[in-house]
Structures are given as structure tokens and as C-alpha cells.
Amino acid sequence: MTKDLESGQDPNAAPPAGARVVVVGAGFAGGSFLRNLPPALRQPGETLLVDRGEEYTFIPLIHEVTVGRIHPDSVRTPITPHTNASYNVSRVEATGVDLPNNILLTSSGPIKYRHLVLAPGSVAAPPPEGLSEYFQTFWSLADALELRRALNRAWHAALSREALPLGGLTVAIVGGGATGVELAAEVAALFDYLRKRTARVPTEEPRVVLLEATDRLISWLDPYFHEMAVEELTRLGVEIKLNSPVTDADAEGVKAGDEWLPAAMRVWATGIQANPLVRDLPGEHEEAGRVSVSEHLTLPGHPEIYVLGDSSVYEHTQLGPLPPTASVAVQQGPYVARDVERRLRGVPDKRRRPFEFFNRGYVVSLGPESGVADPLGVKIKGRAAQALYRSVFLYYIKSSRGRLLISADWAMERTLGRVGFDLDRQPSAVGHRQEAR
Ligand SMILES: Cc1cc2nc3c(=O)[nH]c(=O)nc-3n(C[C@H](O)[C@H](O)[C@H](O)COP(=O)(O)OP(=O)(O)OC[C@H]3O[C@@H](n4cnc5c(N)ncnc54)[C@H](O)[C@@H]3O)c2cc1C
């Protein structure tokens, strides 16, 4: 068993029997709640974080890990108690909630709570039944590294003049949302980078094909995002196929609309599903399983339970249901910290303020040198949007180590090349800082 040397806490020990506030999930929502804990909850035994992971992954940058622009270690942050030990940490899996008895059920036993802050995030929407084995999802660092390995293998095989099947260097990405668009742009830019670094000609033509069932990319955002994404992806050589729902697949390719596309690498990136932990909660659930929450982000009928981040859906009076994004999650954590503090002080319910979402706008990366954004309603694109994208994420990364490593990865890319795509070596072992660039 490991023991945190700074705080003396052992996150692997059996969880305590209870705490005044129990938080599930150390991600964007849970982490921002914990950073804003009111003083009354910073006392020993008051607050307990439950997370099943040893480390937290900064998910929004995993497509850059796939193409070797960011080292996998740079997006990992260990989940350990802070030096000032303002809360305890238990590394167990939450498995359910016993609502009548205020008990969180976990893989290591029950934990009693007075307030429960549920922020376990989401999982990738799976491919339709029968197709799962032919696609990989794109939701975790493991997914990002799996795709990186496949790209690396295929590229080396094509240069070594190994016989590749038709579509051996084709990547089919299903889903034209922000994840699919960002990934398609990065993979196309990777192929361009690799081509420029070798005089050898691959036996197969590299292709990136983005398959979208509707007639628009990133359809939940202003049409400007679609227009700019189409322009930039086309410039990068991505083949965009709109109105092309994927209906079938096998180990050699996918069927989209009436067309059969040979593709050795197939990624399913059609969105999210709520974490299984929240799917069983009472109340209204939208299509993806996120549970509706009140104006105070609590579960209707259960004011002691807050549900945050990707797990819940909050109906904004002007914007409608808020999307499952980090920008929503990081505003919810501090709000809930303030709301719990008011309730601890005995502020009457009618004086509690509802959650207010401040729409700062959205930014989507379109490869290493471009992007599209609408900060505070102002539309920008190209390098300015890419610069904004980088600064937003450096702001979101709360560990100084993470900021430093990611900035260094971006800065070193031009001189040292891409992690895991060294042309003179065989694909190297993954996941270690010393891995060859
Ligand atoms: C590829 C990709 C790109 C993205 N890009 C962007 C972007 O550019 N901008 C943006 O705003 N958003 C982006 N998002 C969305 C963003 O990552 C999520 O909205 C955000 O992570 C949600 O935060 P959260 O706190 O709800 O969950 P998470 O950050 O996922 O944290 C959940 C935590 O809960 C823990 N956990 C889960 N289940 C259990 C359990 N049963 N027991 C104990 N612990 C558990 C996990 O270990 C994890 O630490 C992207 C997502 C993906 C997949």
C-alpha cells in the first residue's frame, strides 16, 4: 500500500465510515469544488473525496497525445491528498447511492454523508450493437494511446513496403462533433508532418475520413463553427462526408450511407453517455442518461445531493440544456462550494442563489496551427483561435507541473519531433516519460 508522504494519508486504506461532505470524482467538476472548499469543510474528517483512479487525465488534450504532440505523462495528474490535507481521499469505486439512508455504496463498503457531491463524469457513447468490436472509442488516455500505436504501426508498415490491405493507412472517424473534428484535423496534420520528414513513399495513400450522420459539423454550436471546420479540414486533406450515417462495419472497413469505405483504423466518436452511477438515480434523464438537476444543481427531491459536470443536465433559461463540457463543469464546482457554505451557515432556502452560467463562448482546435472560437460572442479563427485554445487549457490545468510539461511539449515539437513517431526507431514502449520522441 502506498502512503502519501506529505499528508500521511493512505488513499488505499478502507474508506472512513462517513464525512459531512462526500465528493465522488476528482475531475473538472469535483476538482473545482474541492479547490473552493469553505473553511468549515477544511477541518479533519469533514470532507472526503472518493475517486477510483490513481490519477486524473486532462481529457480535452488527448487527441494531441494520439499524434505525439503531447507526452502522455503531461496530461496525467496523480490524485493524492494535498499537503495542507484539507480533505481526505479514498481510492475506491462508488457503486451506488442508498438514498433513504444517506449512504454512498462503494467497492470497499458504505460511506455515510450529509451532503453528497456526485461528479463521476461520463463514458463514451458506444457503437450500435454488433459493431463494437470493429471500432475503438476516443474517451480516455488508453484510447488515445491505442490509436497512436495503430497509426505508428500502419505508417512504419507502409514505409517498409510491407503489403498493406486496401485502406491500411485510412482512418475513419465516426462523429462530426468537436471530438471527431479535432481528432480528424490532428491526424491529417500528423500525416503531413510524417510525409515531410521522409523521402520514402508509403505504399498506401494516407487518408482521414470524417463521417457525420447529419448535414453539419459541431451542430450544437453556431454555424460559423461548421463553416470554419469544413474550410480548415478540407485544407488539411480530410475527406468530410456529411449525411453519412454508419450502418455497418467489419475488420476491413465501414459502411456509411451507400458507400463502403476500406479503413484499417476506425474510431467511434459520437458523444457521451452518463456515468452508470447516475443512470439509476431517480428523476428525469435525457437521452444520454444525464440526470436533470434543480436551479441549485441538486437532485429534485434530494436537496442533500448535488450532481455536477457531465453527469447532470442543467436547463439554462436562455441557452437551454447546458452541454457536457469542461467549461460548464468548472463553473459548477465553485457554485456548489458556495451553496454548501451558505447552507452550513443556516441561510434560509429562499435566500439561496440559483446557479448562474456565464457563457464565455467556445473554442475548437483545428490542427496545430488553426482553430475557431467565439469568445464573448466575437468570432475568431486561424492562429488567433489556436492561441486562445492553448491559453484556455493552460488556465484549466491546475497543476503547475502539468502546465510546464504541456508548454514544454508544444515548444519542443518543432525541434525534437513528435512523441512515439520517431522515424529511425521502431515504435517505442508507451507511457513513460523517457520514451523516445
Ligand atoms: C476527447 C475529448 C475532448 C474534449 N474537449 C473538450 C474541450 O475542448 N472543451 C471542453 O470544455 N470540454 C471538452 N471535453 C469534455 C470534458 O472533458 C468533460 O466535459 C469534463 O471532463 C467533465 O468533467 P467532470 O468533472 O464531469 O468529469 P471528469 O473530468 O471525467 O471526472 C470524473 C472523475 O470521476 C471519477 N469516477 C468516475 N466514475 C467513478 C466511480 N464510479 N467511482 C469513483 N470515481 C469515479 C473518474 O476517475 C474521474 O476522476 C472533451 C472530452 C473528450 C472526451
Section 374-381 average pLDDT: 94
Q: How far apart are CA 117 and CA 25, in angstroms?
A: 9
Q: pLDDT grade, residue 1 (50/70/90)?
A: very low
Q: Which atom of ligand 1 lies closest to the CA of 57?
A: 49
Q: How far apart are CA 263 and CA 251, in angstroms?
A: 8
Using an 8 Å Cβ cutoff, are 149 and 133 in contact? no
Q: Which atom of ligand 1 lies closest to the CA of 139?
A: 53
Q: What is the CA(27)–ligand 1 centre distance, in A?
A: 6
Section 66-86 average pLDDT: 85
Q: How far apart are CA 111 and CA 95, in angstroms?
A: 11
Q: What is the CA(260)–ligand 1 centre distance, in A?
A: 34
Is the pLDDT reported for residue 429 higher than 80? no
The 3-class secondary structure across 24-83, one letter per residue, is: ECCCHHHHHHHHCCCHHHCCCCCEEEECCCCEEECHHHHHHHHCCCCCHHHHEEECCCCC
Helix axes 223-236, 178-196, angle to 10 degrees: 20
- Residue 80's pLDDT is 77
- Residue 426's pLDDT is 44
- Residue 81's pLDDT is 65
- Residue 85's pLDDT is 59
Q: What is the four-CA torsion angle of 13, 16, 22, 23, rounded to 10 degrees? A: 0
Query: What's the helix, strand, coil split of the chain in %, to 5?
Result: 30, 25, 45
Q: What is the CA(238)–ligand 1 centre distance, in A?
A: 27
Nearest CA residue ID for atom 23, ligand 1: 28
Q: What is the CA(148)–ligand 1 centre distance, in A?
A: 21
The C-alpha cell at 41 is 469543510
Tell which one of 63, 118, 310 to mutate to probe ligand 1, the residue whose CB is within 8 A of the most ligand atoms. 310
Q: Which atom of ligand 1 lies closest to the CA of 56?
A: 49
pLDDT digits (tens, 9 = 90+) for 255-280: 998 899 999 999 999 999 999 999 99
Q: What is the CA(140)–ligand 1 centre distance, in A?
A: 9
Q: Which atom of ligand 1 lies closest to the CA of 53?
A: 47
Section 145-172 average pLDDT: 92
Q: Which atom of ligand 1 lies closest to the CA of 50?
A: 43
Q: If you count DSSP H runs as helices and E runs as strands, how many of each does the chain have, helices first? A: 9, 27
Section 152-178 average pLDDT: 92
- Residue 425's pLDDT is 47
Section 207-217 average pLDDT: 98
The C-alpha cell at 434 is 523517457
Residue 380 pairs in a beta bridge with 373
Task: Report the chain's mean pLDDT, rounded to a whole number.
Answer: 91
What b/e string do you get for 103-122 counting C-beta neighbours within 10 Å, with b at 16 or more?
bbebebeebebebbbbbbbb
The C-alpha cell at 83 is 499537503
Tell which one of 32, 51, 396 to mutate to probe ligand 1, the residue whose CB is within 8 A of the most ligand atoms. 51
Section 104-113 average pLDDT: 95
Q: How far apart are CA 368 and CA 365, in angstroms?
A: 8
Helices (H), 244-376: 276-279, 326-344
pTM of the complete model beyond 0.85: yes
Nearest CA residue ID for atom 3, ligand 1: 60
Q: How far apart are CA 182 and CA 173, in angstroms?
A: 11
Q: What is the CA(348)–ligand 1 centre distance, in A?
A: 33
Is the pLDDT reported for residue 423 higher than 60? no
DSSP state of 135: -
Q: Which atom of ligand 1 lies closest to the CA of 325?
A: 19
Using an 8 Å Cβ cutoff, are 275 and 290 in contact? no
Q: What is the CA(307)–ligand 1 centre distance, in A?
A: 14
Q: What is the CA(371)–ligand 1 centre distance, in A?
A: 22
- Residue 3's pLDDT is 45
- Residue 430's pLDDT is 42
Tell which one of 12, 50, 59 to mutate to probe ligand 1, the residue whose CB is within 8 A of the most ligand atoms. 59
Is the pLDDT reported for residue 382 higher than 80? yes
DSSP state of 196: H
Ligand 1: residues with CB < 6 A are 24-30, 50-53, 56, 59-60, 62-63, 93-94, 119-121, 138-139, 179, 275, 277, 309-311, 324-327, 329
Q: What is the CA(61)–ligand 1 centre distance, in A?
A: 12
